[in-house]
Amino acid sequence: MDNFISEIRECPLIMGIAPNQLGKVFECMVAKRALYKKGDAIVKAGDKMDFIGWILNGSVLLTYDDIDGNIAIIGSLSAPELFGETLIYTNDSSSPLSIHALEDCELLLIKFSKLKSPCKSMCTFHLQVTMNILHSAASKMLHLLDKVLVISNQTIRQRILCFLNIMKEQNGAAKKFTIPYNREQMSKYLCVNQSALSTELRKMSDEGLLRFKRNEFELL
């Protein structure tokens, strides 16, 4: 348990909770571990979702599937982030998004019922857990605004630059940074044609605006 706690201390669900209380936290949550291979469906749009997923290792991809079968990438999450917390206090727990393993990943699945109200023992940390869930959900909504900001741009080049600047900031403004998507996934995030995206990236590289190799980029 000590090694496990040291690995997951940065998870938003347990921020502000004393290390000596974490054992009791997991006892109250009755969490279940789950392993998924790259590409596995964790949740499909429309599924009833009664749990928060805590990513212990790996990453997941969030997508929106429209009625015509088109897939738009909403974003990705990696350890030690959460998903599903935006549904915990809603009346309808149907997931609006599909969630797939972006790579092999290990999750901790925690039932909503174990998080929404204090346990019989009235453990003092439940209020902190609730506040952490709300904070995480609010942060997630702010990240969704990044997507709106990107696709509000008119041209492919503007979308690319907006997206890459956001990625750069999320990587600590590093000169070189890695995005979590391959070229097909990047095109779906930007809501543009994949061939047109590749063509525009080559043009931008030739014009000295950026350098890239696979999913590693550098803005010049």
The larger pLDDT score, comparing residue 80 to residue 40, is at 40
More confident residue, 32 or 10: 32
Above 80 in pLDDT, residue 110? yes
Structural domain includes residue 138: no
State the pLDDT at residue 209: 95
Residue 161 shares a structural domain with residue 121: no
- Tell me what the pLDDT averaged over the chain comes to: 87
Boundary of a domain, candidates 125, 144, 169: 125
Identify whether residues 15 and 85 lie together within a single domain.
yes
CATH number of 172's domain: 1.10.10.10
Between 71 and 216, name the one with better pLDDT: 216
Q: Tell me the mean pLDDT in the region 157-170.
A: 94
What are the CA-CA distances from residue 40 to residues 6, 99, 122 (Å)?
Answer: 28, 9, 37
Over residues 81-101, the pLDDT tens digits come to: 989 988 887 877 889 899 999
Do residue 75 and residue 175 come from a single domain? no
Give the CATH number of the domain where residue 88 resides: 2.60.120.10
Q: How many domains does the chain have?
A: 2
Averaged pLDDT for residues 210-217: 93
Looking at residue 27, its pLDDT comes to 77
**Is residue 202 included in any domain, yes or no?**
yes
Rounded to whole angstroms, how far apart are CA atoms 81 and 85?
11
1 or 100, greater pLDDT: 100
Asked whether residue 39 falls in the same domain as residue 110, the answer is: yes
Give residue 100's pLDDT. Answer: 95
User: Is 96 exposed, middle or buried (CB count within 10 Å of its CB: 0-12, 13-18, 19+)?
Assistant: middle
Selected residue with higher pLDDT from 156 and 20:
156
Q: Which amino acid is at 45?
A: A
> What range defines the domain where residue 18 resides?
2-125
Q: Are 59 and 167 found together in one domain?
A: no
Percent with pLDDT over 90 in the chain: 45
| 162 belongs to a structural domain | yes
The whole-number pLDDT of residue 200 equals 97
- State how far the Cα of 190 lies from the Cα of 119, in Å rounded to an integer: 44
Domain shared by 91 and 168, yes or no: no
* Interatomic CA distance for residues 213 and 76, integer angstroms: 20
Domain shared by 119 and 197, yes or no: no
Phi and psi for 89 in degrees, rounded to 5? Answer: -110, 20
Do 30 and 112 reside in the same domain of the chain? yes
Lowest-pLDDT range, 113-127, 160-174, 179-193? 113-127
Q: Is residue 141 part of a domain?
A: no
